[in-house]
Chain A
Amino acid sequence: MKGRYLLLIWGAILWLVVLAAVCAPLLPADPVRTNPPDQFLAPGVRYWLGSDQFGRDVLSRTLWGARASLTAAALAAAIALGLGVLGGSLAGTFGGTLDWALMRLVDVLLAFPGLLLALLLVALLGTGQWQAALAVGLSLAPPCSRMVRAAILTERVRPYVEAARVAGASWWRIAWRHMLPNVAGQLIVFASVIYAWSLLNMATLDFLGVTGSPSWPTWGRMLAEGRAYLREAPWIAFAPGILLTLSVMAVMGLGDAWRHALPSGR
């Protein structure tokens, strides 16, 4: 019962953040156009969340930043999940040499500590928003395929798989039509974890300045600007920082609550 409330609360928070991102174009202030006379204005009636070093509206930049950050992380998570589900289910279903080869590759990639793989990929792919999303997605694919493989392996020994086998179904069909739908509940939990990591890693790359075009707002870039002008205008960093933290907590909380709601959940 408690889990249901948590699901509702985290869902509502995430829904509000997404709604705010969708509504960004409704704000009158331009997120990019500079307005030098209004530099570093404290939060007030004209600028609800203050203005930054170029006199741009922080509220409007935060909400436009939400769009950029949420979609880039979604792209990264989609890449990680796509590769992870493909690799993990292939390895788990067919086993044998394919499983061995894929998992050794995953082992090697997991030897790269965290953010390092993403940074290495950025160095290879070049700096830019899409390259960074691709890099984050590729760097999260190995742990994702591990999780999917483990889930598939526990399904593989279930009686319904044997029944499908006896009925003459191919392994392809069993994987896609029988096992994947059965692990869909767990996949949603994985997806939430991967999305939370994507949000954090994308924001980190943005913060480090390796994602190109600095004028367009993202939460990570705004945090970097906020750090640079912390003495003059600390409010630049507050709104994007709080929204990023809230989004990560909401996504993780949703996954957690969902896991508890699963029949096999603890």
Chain B
Amino acid sequence: MVRFILRRALGVLLALWAAVTLVFFAMHVVPGDPVEAALSQSTASPDVLARRRAALGLDQPVLVQYGRYLLNLARGDLGISWQGDQPVAWLIGEQLPATLSLAAAGMAVALLIGGALGIGAALGRGSIVSVVLRSAAGLLLSVPVMFSGTLLIWLFAVRLGWLPAVGRGSVAHLILPACVVGLSVAGGVARTVDAGTTEAMREQFVITAWAKGLSRWQIVWRHALRVGLLPTLDVIALQFAFLLGGTVVTETLFARQGIGRLLVSAVLDKNLPVVQGVVVLALLAYGLLNFCADISHAWLDPRVRHDMQ
């Protein structure tokens, strides 16, 4: 087990390093540097420009900059924003709680709705219930977040007036955004849970359980779902990608603070250190989640554990 964990960790670290390197050099291929961009309008003398470049370390060779960047990254230093001169890590840290609570609440909604749709569709196989639930999951997969979000805001905030559409702080402010994020991911969760449960219901041990005379309830909850829900673990890690996209759009929809808004405004301002910082953070989170999914999968499923040894 330990060897397995170490090997996976090394793999994740290597992938992270490669991705970070790619981002770093992509940023340096782009013509024009921040000093020019920030000061081109002003009438600063070449001397001032040179001093500013030296302060940002941009007068060094690219490889030296790259080494320094990696060292700083290892220390948790993501560089300085080109606007306002604040550390990128600080800017991100300020926005992180809002995004984390939105993502966590959204994931909870997604698992609840997606799980119910998927289990219902798998158990009601061949009946009209399953057709309806599968169509609902298909619809959720196709509706763009900004449209489902707009519809929910229109219904619950504008027409019914039950929930606030903007602002943050209380639990009420989180419900609607969390539902929007959750619905955007629920379709994918439903598909996986459906497939996993359907497959599990066909397994030999389920047939054995039927033969033993167990009730349908016991078979589903005690036997089939335990195996059928295992793939959902991987889905949580995989759907994180969609969750992130959904969060970016949702934060714009609800004019909420968060990493997504920070990223979009940084893209608009061509504030590359902030873009780079957010991207690196997302890479780290994505890699870590996949790592955890692998480990927990191995831990939960004796068959995988057996294969490793």
Chain B residues whose CB sits within 8 angstroms of the CB of A220 once the complex forms? 146
> Judging by beta carbons under 8 Å apart, are B266 and A204 in contact?
no
Chain A residues lying within 8 Å of B252, measured Cβ to Cβ, are 207-208, 224
Secondary structure call for the A interface: helix
Within 8 A of A (CB), among B249-272: 249, 252-253, 263-264, 266-268, 270, 272
Residues of B contacting A: mostly:
helix
Contacts of B27 in A (CB 8 A): 124
| With A113-B286, A124-B30, A207-B146 as contacts: A107 and B15 at CB distance below 8 Å | yes
Residues of B within 8 A of A111 (CB): 15-16, 18-19, 283, 286-287
| Residue-wise interface mask of B (191-234) relative to A, using a CB-CB cutoff of 8 A (1 in contact, 0 not) | 00000000000000000000000000000000000000000000
Using Cβ atoms and an 8 Å threshold, which residues of chain A touch B22? 108-109
Number of interface residues of B (CB under 8 A): 48
How far in angstroms is the closest Cβ of chain B from A129? 15
Stretch at the interface among A82-90, A93-101, A147-155, A240-248: A240-248
Asked if A116 contacts B142 (CB within 8 A), the reply is no
Asked if A144 is at the interface (CB within 8 A of a chain B CB), the reply is no
**Any B CB within 8 A of the CB of A4:** no
Q: Are B158 and A245 interface neighbours, CB within 8 A?
A: no
Whether the Cβ atoms of A120 and B23 lie closer than 8 Å is yes
* CB closest residue in chain A, given B279: A120
Q: Which of A208-242 contact B (CB under 8 A)?
A: 208-210, 220, 223-224, 226-227, 230-231, 234, 237, 241-242
Which chain B residues lie closer than 8 Å to A241 at the CB level? 144, 146-147, 150-151
Contact A108 B15 (CB under 8 A): yes
**Known A120-B275, A124-B26, A124-B27; contact A248-B282, beta-carbon cutoff 8 A:** no
Once the chains bind, are A207 and B264 in contact (CB under 8 Å)? Answer: no
A123 and B144 contact, CB distance less than 8 A: no
A32 is an interface residue with CB less than 8 A from chain B: no
Evaluate contact between B15 and A113: CB separation under 8 angstroms: no
Give the 4 A-B CB pairs with smallest separation, nearest first.
A113-B241, A241-B147, A115-B245, A114-B241
Instruction: Beyond A113-B241, A113-B286, list 8 extra A-B contacts (CB 8 Å).
Output: A108-B22, A113-B240, A114-B241, A127-B268, A200-B144, A207-B144, A223-B147, A241-B147
Residue positions of A touching B, CB distance < 8 A: 104, 107-109, 111-116, 119-120, 122-124, 126-127, 196, 200, 203-204, 207-210, 220, 223-224, 226-227, 230-231, 234, 237, 241-242, 244-245, 248-249, 252
